[in-house]
Structure 1
């Protein structure tokens, strides 16, 4: 076995995901695409400075690129979860190619105005917003679950490699050939990724249900995240980290100019040190994950970035500040990759795109808000004090982990259970028929009531998270051992969808309830369709009283 293969097979190797050819090919193509995007950013900023004297318009170039990520991430995540993610990513890349070609031609022929340039950069941001959730959630289809954290870290490393040298290359291209050349390079950078995606034919499980309507899909994503404590913790911690840690990047030009009295070259060295630190953090991440828990690693990243901000605020020595930037880059990639991996490992495939989109919105929102806060703080108290305050905030973020630690998810199986089959009904039920009312009867001994109520609290969370409404638990007044779980779904299609979302981890709750049930047979399930008295339907040719009859199932499946 060659040394290269041994490295890729090593469980502790950060390069292990490269064993999977499709991930390796997409990663390399994405690396070149990231280079192109950063080169285009330099070209757009320089072009705006050349055609407009307004500092506000120059600042809006960056804002117009990031604003669509805030606006459209949830929409993009909903589409990614309901359609072929590969095709969505392919469509996003094709859209970005068309926009970049149009920008290149407009720039070459001198047709670009400030507002037209902002429109183009906004469209680039839209393509990026729709590409992000599809690409991030596709990683779980390219590599097995065990390699997922390392794959996510490699993605972060790839972006930081591009960020380390991309702006400098962009500056050289703009200086030598003009902004249109930077736009042309970016357009060319999409071709490789489009070719790789077009050639890939993943084995996709057949879709047995139609896609969710967009509004319903977005609501389902919000509901799932709101009812998932693990993901909620990541959103909180990610938002805090983005808010506090962005101080270093937002103030880096001022650190170079005012604190260590350098110029553009010094600024470039700081950017490069940050990027190279991120690359180094990615390489050691796999070994750190073997040695530390997710929370310990994240807390270390908070403290490491606090040290970066503190040293940058106090140092007047370029060498020391460059070293601090390297620490900050490593801490940055370790924290963000841990958050991203936790979200992916906390969400089943049917909702992972929406979960990632909401995480992205929380983190980018923290960064956007933090950039404004630290800029205002630097204006009021000075750059050094602003960095020291952000350092204290980062330490507080690490302490927050004592109350809201990141979960350990290595043993959580979120694969679909695939045990449930759609029951046969005695009346004609169509996908839009409803509302559907489900009741499940349990016989519970008095001595088991406390445990039963505890398990039912988890059952309620899972039911509501997966779409159930009006969940209630009833106890019979004449037979105290009889308990009835009751919930509604708006249509039969949503009832089927609700049951197909069941994972192996969710099934543990059902197994605990069946163990507590002391009836002669398994818990009895009644499925009923709600009807008003005297109601007449054109959907099914049966009397109203027949439609209201329950469908019973003694198997205990829901």
Structure 2
């Protein structure tokens, strides 16, 4: 991790600022090259720029790191990332809000070339101007984002972005003068970067370091999937009812979805996700090979019958933490001969994965475990066994 958690949102905004500077400058340079040198030369320069980036990555000398016996291989790391994404309710909310917003807002990106040609009666150069306006507006939006966050919550920012974007889309379907269309796309760029930065920032804030890259890959898959599927759908709709009505439908849909989804609050991302390292090393008679598995972990609690409902309620929260940190199965059972004896169990795919689980447990999860332990009766702590 390169920055402190408190700087996530501003750092995401700065990164988005760089992207949108490129988005503003790129179409302008491309338009100049296309007009002066032709399409073949323009695409040749584009290919060359990619070659330069690839070469830079290949020549980049990264610092040497010591080999960790618990380093994850790709297949296991991939499965662990998917398990985390499947078990994290907070991430589910971010993915849902992102899908709904971008699926509806994709209509303006899918139809903008047709808007430029049919409604605004412009050519390729004017379309480049429209894209440049979006990029410049995004730069302005990224600059004022820190001030906006002083007055609006992430949910408020996302709702405002949806309403502003839908208003611009509704304006474009009326075929406004070119100067007004360019001005409106400046505003669209600011609203777009506000939504993108808000969702990115929340996603970054709710993810622990060990799985951040993998979970962000899931987020980007949902984002790009929503844009791709939405663009295809809006293209089909425009073919059936025309560009103006399709764009108006997208505007109305985005405003409606924005207001409805506003009731599903984004997570605040205030949990302490740093590793707690409070689990003791598991006792073994002899060293266990790292690739042996699966591994079954059992924890015996003794809980008064009167406390059982509250105990199970907190344990349900702990189960989500177990699954996020690597468990692929979890359960709680009672002893039929002694109902006060409760047995929690969970399974991980290998001994190495369980040792990684020891390093992944966050301070937030440790607080939940402390709440669970308050219900345990007896001088000794819960009995833990590994199979």
TM-score (norm 1): 0.64
Give the superposition deviation at 1:420. 3.1
Gaps of 5+ in 2: none
8 Å Cα contact 1:157/1:278 also seen in 2 = yes
1:445 matched to 2:304? The reply is yes
- Separation (CA, whole Å) in 1 of partners of 2:48 and 2:264: 47
Which of residues 150, 155, 162 in structure 1 aligns to 2:22? 162
Which of residues 45, 48, 52 in structure 2 aligns to 1:184? 48
| Matched residue, 1:320 | 180
Q: Deviations over 1:62-86 (max 9, x none)?
A: xxxxxxxxxxxxxxxxxxxxxxxxx
3-state SS of 2:160 partner: helix
Question: Does the C-alpha gap of structure 1 residues 258 and 480 become closer, same or farther in structure 2, counting only changes over 3 Å?
Answer: same
Q: Deviations over 1:248-285 (max 9, x none)?
A: 12211221222222333432332122111111110111
8 Å Cα contact 2:323/2:330 also seen in 1 = yes
1:376 matched to 2:227? The reply is no
Which of residues 135, 143, 148 in structure 1 aligns to 2:8? 148
| Matched residue, 1:420 | 279
Give the superposition deviation at 1:385. 0.7
| Matched residue, 1:332 | 192
| Matched residue, 1:460 | 319
- Separation (CA, whole Å) in 2 of partners of 1:207 and 1:420: 23
Q: Deviations over 1:25-60 (max 9, x none)?
A: xxxxxxxxxxxxxxxxxxxxxxxxxxxxxxxxxxxx
The within-5 A match list for 1:126-141 is 141=1
Give the superposition deviation at 1:309. 1.0
- Separation (CA, whole Å) in 1 of partners of 2:106 and 2:378: 58
Q: Deviations over 1:354-404 (max 9, x none)?
A: 111111111101111111112222222111111111112211321232442
Which of residues 154, 167, 188 in structure 2 aligns to 1:307? 167
Gaps of 5+ in 1: 1-140, 530-558
Give the superposition deviation at 1:168. 2.1
| Matched residue, 1:80 | none
8 Å Cα contact 2:161/2:192 also seen in 1 = yes
8 Å Cα contact 1:444/1:518 also seen in 2 = yes
The within-5 A match list for 1:176-325 is 176-177=36-37, 178-179=41-42, 180-188=44-52, 198=61, 208-325=68-185
| Matched residue, 1:49 | none
Q: Deviations over 1:177-213 (max 9, x none)?
A: 5243443355446667777x54x759x7x66443333
8 Å Cα contact 1:416/1:500 also seen in 2 = yes
3-state SS of 2:150 partner: helix
8 Å Cα contact 1:295/1:407 also seen in 2 = no
Which of residues 505, 518, 522 in structure 1 aligns to 2:377? 518
| Matched residue, 2:288 | 429
- Separation (CA, whole Å) in 1 of partners of 2:72 and 2:159: 38
- Separation (CA, whole Å) in 1 of partners of 2:296 and 2:232: 50
The within-5 A match list for 1:451-530 is 451-527=310-386, 529=387
Question: Does the C-alpha gap of structure 1 residues 291 and 190 become closer, same or farther in structure 2, counting only changes over 3 Å?
Answer: farther
Q: Deviations over 1:315-372 (max 9, x none)?
A: 4222322222122111111111111122221111111111111111111011111111
- Separation (CA, whole Å) in 1 of partners of 2:351 and 2:176: 67
- Separation (CA, whole Å) in 2 of partners of 1:277 and 1:299: 18
The within-5 A match list for 1:339-350 is 339-350=199-210
- Separation (CA, whole Å) in 2 of partners of 1:513 and 1:208: 33
Q: Deviations over 1:76-123 (max 9, x none)?
A: xxxxxxxxxxxxxxxxxxxxxxxxxxxxxxxxxxxxxxxxxxxxxxxx
Give the superposition deviation at 1:310. 1.1
- Separation (CA, whole Å) in 2 of partners of 1:159 and 1:363: 16
Q: Deviations over 1:406-455 (max 9, x none)?
A: 1111x211111223343341234221233332211212223322210101
Q: Deviations over 1:454-481 (max 9, x none)?
A: 0111112221222224422122233332
Q: Aligned-pair RMSD on alpha carbons?
A: 2.3
Question: Does the C-alpha gap of structure 1 residues 174 and 258 become closer, same or farther in structure 2, counting only changes over 3 Å?
Answer: closer
Q: Which has the higher contact order (CA 8 A, sep 6+)?
A: 2
Which of residues 391, 394, 407 in structure 1 aligns to 2:251? 391
Moved over 6 A (4+): 190-195
- Separation (CA, whole Å) in 2 of partners of 1:307 and 1:517: 57
8 Å Cα contact 2:173/2:243 also seen in 1 = yes
